[in-house]
Structure 1
Amino acid sequence: MDLTTDVRYLKGVGEKKAKLFYKLGLFTIGDLLTYFPRSYEDRSSIKKIHELEPDTSVCIEGCLVSAPRLTQVRQQLSIIRFQVSDGTDLLDVTCFNQPWLKNKLETGVKYVFFGKVTGNLIRREMVNPSIEPSDSPPRLTRRIKSIYRLRAGISQQMLSDTIEQCLRIVGDNIPDPLPESVKQKHQLAHARFAYENIHIPSSGYALETARRRLIFEELFILTLGLRLMRSAGTASGPDIKVPALDDFMRQLPFELTSAQERAIRDIFSDMSSGRSMNRLIQGDVGSGKTIVAAAAAWASVSNGYQCALMAPTEILATQHFEELEPLFGKFGFRTALLTGSMSAKQKREVKELIKSGFYHLIIGTHALITEDTEYSNLGLVITDEQHRFGVRQRAALTAKGEVPHTLVMSATPIPRTLALIMYGDLDVSVIDELPPGRKRVNTYAVDESKRDRIYNFIRRLVAEGRQVFIVCPLVEDPEGLDDGRKAVEAYTKQLSEEIFPDLRIGFVHGKLRQSDKDAVMKSFVEGKIDILVSTTVIEVGINVPNASLMIVENAERFGLSQLHQLRGRVGRGKHESYCILISDSKNEATLSRLSIMTNTNDGFVISEEDLKLRGPGDFFGDRQHGIPKLKIADLADNADTLREAAYAALELLNDDPELTSPENMKLRKAVFEMIDQFRS
């Protein structure tokens, strides 16, 4: 038997039970060994009965002072009762539906019991404890017990026993992909020790040592795989002769920040290297990523190549077009807009001109990657708001050119540790400086008692000529549709009829037709609507400099990064701006979360806090980035180990770029197995 042996051949499993294991995704011995416990129960220390406190789970050791009494209540219910003493006090024990214990337990013999203590300090009791003789090897007690995720039909003991059997079978043949040099440098345990002590910890220290080794291994292999994928993707790219940046800057109505200039230099260096660029531009809300992308597009079109910029929404694509078309026109370059809502005739005409090379910069939505969209000479692909795109969509656009340069803009600040994994196949530039004049948004967390004051504040701002966003959370309706439509429409009706009958109020939500949504947003941008009520469809990128107040209803239902994105819709003009987070929640964790928003405007600080509070799931969404599911590592909890593993991976690849040295062959195999998971 080896790691590939089917679980049905294990003792005590067989064909019938194997089907239960298959439902857990456990098909082989190897699967069982990497099915790590979700938690642990410390049963290693023995307590004295007189010390026991109610509602604690403990081990005690003692003798039965009374013979077990069996009561058959009815056919399906039997009860056994007895008392145990350890010389300090008595403990009552009750066991349900275990009639065999009557003949198995003897008075005067020492046993170890583990269970939850109930009762009070005068009369203590355990119900259905784990029991084993003191002179037997520790299986149920006197050890740290692993707790696994289960399915119906498989018990903790069955799974533990099966995994222990696997450890005995495999023994020293557990593969160890880590080179000795890496283990020594980072003081990591050997594989056999790690697997034995992750499942059957001999002590708390051994468990921590095992966990650290296996977490490091998983993150080390993951970062190695991402690095190798990145180097494999660096084929020859379009040859860009970088023009003088001063020529571009002279056409801008503002000065670039030093962070923007640094990001542009990174991009120009990539584009002129002869290799295909794969770069992520990360920046906070309002840090000026669009103009950095525009500089990259300008360098591309100045060299005779086309540039495609794909945005996640038509509103944002139109906004980019309106901003960049006049700028590129100053250099004699033609810009096209291509979106799904255009008529078939319009799309056909634009696509023909794209194919002929007439247009230099093409801005659009998913219409840019349809099969019938052909380019004349695509040299640069820019995807905006990467969170809204999957890897396949990005790849589909890249496939439109030979090997075009790729630039990704992410407006949601990502914790640096998480960026290592989410964008490990990309080089990263961070714009960590806001343009001068970008105002801090005054943020307040309030409850329902302040609603009248909020409405008065809205009226005052509108009277001054400002505009207001009000965001409602998505609400689950009876059909289970989480679209927020009913909440938005009902609230808009209430505002229009009861509170602000004299103001112009509009609404947008996810179920509106795109053309209707665009019409409302256009009216808001043009100042024809005073108050816009919406779901989070407005969180991405929309630019309304005259909007100076963002109100978020039921703010406790949003994540921190999402709240920060919503707040970023205001504070874009010359006016003092405000964000009011309304929540009646008394939950301490919620109040703490909202206080983070009131204390900082730094998106990177907020994203780190969000990662700690909510975990990486919200950043990954539906795993659209193709990251394999981690088996033991947690990106929020293991940030330090991730950094250590990432640096170790870089160091190793400097010495052995292809992992072809004899010492690294097992590691190479593990890395390429992980890469296959990315691609499947």
Structure 2
Amino acid sequence: MLPTDSLRTHFRLDQAHEKALKKLRIETVSDLLYHLPSRYEDISDIQSVSGLTTGSEAVVYGQLGGLRARKAWKSKRPIAEGWLEDGTSRIKVMWFNQPYLAKMYKDGQYVKASGKVTGVGDKMYLANPELEPMESLPIDRHDSIFKNTENIDDTIYPVYKETKGVTSRWFYHTVMKCFEAGVLDKFIDPIPSQIIERYKLYELKTALRYIHSPKKLDHATGARKRFAFEEVFYIQVQKAMERAAVSAATTYNIDVTEDNVNEFIFRFPFPLTRAQQRAIDEILKDFSGQHAMSRLLEGDVGSGKTAVAATTAYAVVTSRPPEGRDTKSGIDYGNLQVAYMAPTEILAKQHFESFIEYFEHLPIQIGLITGSGCFKFPSKSDSTKPTKISKAQLMKWVKNGEVPILIGTHALIYKSVEFKHLAYVIIDEQHRFGTNQRKALTKKGAPMPHLLSMTATPIPRTLSLTIYGDLDLTLLDEMPKGRKQVNTKIIGPNQQEPMYEHVKGELKAGRQAYVICPRIDEPDPEKENALNLKSVISEAERLRTRVFKDAKIDVLHGKMTPSEKDRVMKRFLDHESDVLVATSVVEVGVNVPNATNIIIEGAERFGLSQLHQLRGRVIRGTYQPYCFAVTESKSEKTKDRLKALSTAKNGFELSEYDLQFRGAGELYGSKQSGLTDLGMEALKNLKLVEAARAEARTLVETDPELKEHKKIAERVAALGLNLHLE
């Protein structure tokens, strides 16, 4: 048996198996062995039902049956009851005052039950047991139903992710058969031995043995550490190669005159924060280097990212390209150019307006290109205003260098948009602007532009290092002076009336408000959109008829077209509506200074980082902002998590808190990213991620094309197909 062999060669697979394995992307023996357990069960404390005694605390595994809800004969109190069978005997299970449990679980379902044994003889039962659903019963390793007693000390067994057609038990037994066939000796460890030794990782053979068949929990933990490192390492190698490709390309070396930049900053109506100054210094230093800059600027809403973008853009457009004057036409166009890309049309327009404010005192032309039209500043007839122009005219001016700053949406990367000397690309809230898009913005053979990607999404450091491993990170971790803190209140069940009265008062005073409807988790994206849409429309109707009867209320949701969304946002921006009821589509949103209140329904369904971003919608103005996080949950854990909203200093603290308490999979979605659950969990370990990043960069420096590391090259190539870190 070889790792590359098809499973079909060694195992009889029926149609259900084949379909299930294909769904899990398992074709070869190697694929099977890399289908790692999702967790482990310790069966050392398991009792058999036949051995239970009255008064004892029991932990039993078995199958449920006979579930029903009824009322007690005398007291009439509601009861859920059924029985649990483990192959040795059967015991009654009863829950008092929790009749809904009879519907929550199903007859035939496997569970782990923990509870007190009450009653005697044939009247014995488990009282109010806690149930943990199981995909299957433990592997046969114990006495009674766990019949295989030769490994009585092996009390830890793996539980695998199942799909219809293959069970956790099937995975375990199939893996054991592969081990018996001696396949482990045929595996070649792709991770260099010096890295294995440096971080005291298990070798591949040992790690595979221990992760599928641990004698003790330490074995499983050590094996998981090895595979977590391996997964993050491959991602970091891919990112290091992307970075190396950018570094190898020629770029514009921009020498900045410090006095000119300081003069530009001096005109700002506010002082820069230390974080903003540090960010500008880092970017300007990158400009003067030999390689194209690749940098991520991360900062809370309102931390001043646009000022950093404008200052660094000024440094670029006041610099000359290497060839200087355009001798052919005798026209002195040809300063370096900047492309600024925003996620939505309305946001692109706002950036255009902001840049006009920053540059209006200078003879620098600014263009705007969106799906619905093109503008240029300044207008020939009025130097204080922009003018609408044809796309053809704008494209001509961009191509010959007469317009050095072009702001737009994805229209920027259309083939019809050609720059003369594109030296700097700024991306706002794209989360991922890959090398392909960057190449799309540059002419063949032209120098690679510097890249600044900006985001207000608070990202834990480990995730930044992984997802944006090819980018250097700059944090804007302080807010400008005078920025009002959002007054955040957690609203529990039946506490909404005072909140509504407050918002009514704010609306009466001429302010505006957002109402965010809870996210509805639904595996089918179409159904999710439909449910979220229904939620928004029904909530808007309820508020219109029962709460804010005098207010103009609009709705915004994911099923709208971009132009519909822009139209609704423009109405809200122009104060033609008072309340905007929306899904979380507003989190990457527009600057509406008059909106000072945000109500977030079902707050427990959002991550803290997302709540923080939503809250950021109301800090743009000069009035005191308010955020109401509404939850129906009575759970202490939920209350503690939401309390962090009002205690954390900034979004970065919240994102780290969320990572620890909710996990990266829930935060960023392993389905969307292509990372495994293990890879997602690895993101909690900063040292591991930093080590993987350092080793990957060293490897790529010494072997840029991975000619000496073919196994790693194969893994990285496969990763490129499955990893989606947009």
User: TM-score per shorter chain, which class?
Assistant: 0.7 to 0.9
Evaluate the alpha carbon distance shift between residue 217 and residue 274 of structure 1 in structure 2; reply closer, same or farther with a 3 A threshold: same
Residue 149 of structure 1 pairs with residue 161 of structure 2: yes
Tell me if the contact between 2:492 and 2:632 (Cα under 8 Å) persists in the aligned partners.
yes
Residue matched to 1:540:
588
Contact 2:462 2:683 (8 Å CA) reproduced: no
What CA deviation, in whole Å up to 9, does each residue of 1:628-660 have, x standing for no partner?
53363334x6522x5234235425745872248
Deviation per residue, 1:103-138 (Å, 9 max, x gap): xxxxxxxxxxx9979975755899999477899674
Alignment of 1:101-120 (within 5 A): none
Q: Which residue of 2 aligns with 1:584?
A: 632
Residue 225 in structure 1 maps to residue 241 in structure 2 = no
| 1:329 to 1:8, Cα distance in 2 relative to 1, 3 A | same
Are positions 1:273 and 2:289 aligned together?
yes
- Following TM superposition, by how much is the alpha carbon of 1:46 offset from its aligned partner in structure 2, in angstroms? 7.8
- Which residue number corresponds to residue 393 of structure 2? 349
Does the CA-based 8 Å contact 1:223-1:649 persist in structure 2?
A: yes
Instruction: Give the deviation of 1:395 after TM superposition.
Output: 5.5
Q: Deviation per CA, 1:255-305, whole angstroms, max 9, x where unpaired?
A: 111111111111111111121111100112211111111122212211212
**In the alignment, which residue of structure 2 is the partner of 1:420?**
465
Partner amino acid for 2:273? T
Quickly say closer, same or farther: Cα 1:675–1:289, change in 2 above 3 A. Answer: farther
Q: Distance in 1 between matches of 2:653 and 2:394?
A: 43
Query: 1:460: how far off?
Result: 2.4
Give the 5 Å matches for 1:130-141.
Answer: 130=140, 138=150
Could you tell me which residue of structure 2 aligns to residue 174 of structure 1? Answer: 187
**Structure 1 letter corresponding to 2:506:** L
CA distance 1:239–1:447, shift in 2 (3 Å): same
Q: Name the structure 1 match of 2:486.
A: 441
Q: Secondary structure at 1:633's aligned position in 2?
A: helix
* Alpha-carbon offset, residue 580 of structure 1: 1.2
Task: State the secondary structure of the residue aligned to 1:337.
Answer: strand
Matches within 5 A, 1:552-571: 552-571=600-619
- Give the 5 Å matches for 1:346-495: 346-387=390-431, 393=437, 396-397=440-441, 402-447=447-492, 449-473=494-518, 480=527, 482=529, 484-495=532-543
Moved more, 515-524 or 577-586: 515-524
**Cα pair 1:469 1:547 within 8 Å, conserved:** yes
TM-score by length of 1: 0.81
Q: Does residue 356 of structure 2 align to residue 325 of structure 1?
A: yes
- Give the distance between the partners of 1:58 and 1:492, measured in 2 at CA: 48
Distance 1:317 1:199, change over 3 A: same
Larger displacement relative to structure 2 (449-458 or 185-194): 449-458
Please give the alpha-carbon distance, in whole angstroms, between the structure 2 residues aligned to 1:115 and 1:548.
49
State the Cα RMSD in Å.
3.9
CA–CA distance in 2 between the matches of 1:501 and 1:117? Answer: 52
2:243 pairs with 1:243: no
Number of the residue aligned with 1:677: 719
- Measured in 2, the distance between the counterparts of 1:125 and 1:632 equals 39
- TM score, norm. by length of structure 2: 0.76
Does residue 163 of structure 2 align to residue 158 of structure 1?
no
1:259 aligns with 2:270: no
Alpha-carbon distance, 1:595 to partner: 1.9
| Residues 214, 93 of structure 1: alpha-carbon distance in 2 compared, 3 angstrom cutoff | same
Q: Which amino acid aligns with 2:197?
A: Q
Say if 1:441 and 1:601, in contact at 8 Å, map to a contact too: no
Of 515-524 and 2-11, deviating more is 515-524
Return 249-258 or 527-536, whichever deviates more: 527-536
State how far apart, in whole Å, the 2-side matches of 1:137 and 1:361 are.
Answer: 75
- Determine what percentage of the aligned residue pairs are the same residue: 36
Do the aligned partners of 1:92 and 1:125 also contact (CA within 8 Å) in 2? no
Partner of 1:290: 306
Partners of 2:86 and 2:692 lie apart in 1 by 58
**CA deviation profile, 1:4-50 (whole Å, cap 9, x unmatched):** 11111215558995565444322111111111112222235686946
Deviation by residue 1:162-189 (Cα, 9 ceiling, x = unmatched): 2122223223332223333323332222
Conserved in 2, the CA contact under 8 Å of 1:222 and 1:671?
Answer: no
Q: How big is each residue's C-alpha offset from its partner over 1:301-348, in whole Å with a ceiling of 9 and x where there is no partner?
A: 112121111111111111101010232232211111111122898333
Question: Contact 2:300/2:476 (CA < 8 Å) preserved in 1?
Answer: yes
What code does the residue aligned with 2:353 have?
Answer: E
My pick for the range that moved more, 43-52 or 435-444, is 43-52
- Residue type of the partner of 2:161? R
**May I ask how many residue pairs the two structures share in their alignment?**
627
Give the secondary structure class of the aligned counterpart of 2:25: coil
Partner amino acid for 1:480? K
Counterparts of 1:460 and 1:611 in 2: how far apart (Å)? 37
**Cα contact 2:310–2:358 (8 A) shared by 1:** no
Cα 1:669–1:302, aligned 2, differ >3 Å: closer, same or farther? farther
**Amino acid aligned to 1:380:** Y
Equivalent position of 2:327 in the other structure: none
Q: Secondary structure of the equivalent of 2:254? A: coil
Aligned position for 2:216? 203
Of stretches 598-607 and 515-524 in structure 1, the one that deviates more from structure 2 is 515-524
- In structure 1, the residue matched to 2:341 is 310
CA distance in 1, matches of 2:659, 2:684: 10
Partners of 1:596 and 1:274 in 2: CA distance: 43
C-alpha separation between the residues in 2 aligned to 1:373 and 1:611?
41
| Pairing 1:10–2:26 present | no
Question: Which residue does the alignment assign to 1:610?
Answer: 658
CA distance in 2 between counterparts of 1:510 and 1:638 reads: 30
Aligned 8 A contact 2:418 2:443 in 1? no
TM superposition shift of 1:488: 4.0
Change (3 A) 1:43 1:514: closer
- Name the aligned partner's letter for residue 214 of structure 1: F
Q: Distance in 2 between matches of 1:166 and 1:369?
A: 51
Matched position secondary structure for 1:386: coil
Shift of 1:139: 6.1
Displacement of 1:151: 3.3
- Pick from 497, 518, 531: which aligns with 2:579? 531
Q: Residue 71 of structure 2 aligns with which residue?
A: none
Question: 1:521 aligned to 569, 590, 603, which one?
Answer: 569
Separation in structure 2 between the aligned mates of residue 461 and residue 535 of structure 1, nearest angstrom: 22
User: What one-letter code is carried by the residue in structure 2 that aligns with 1:185?
Assistant: R
Query: Secondary structure, in 3 states, of the residue corresponding to 1:233?
Result: helix
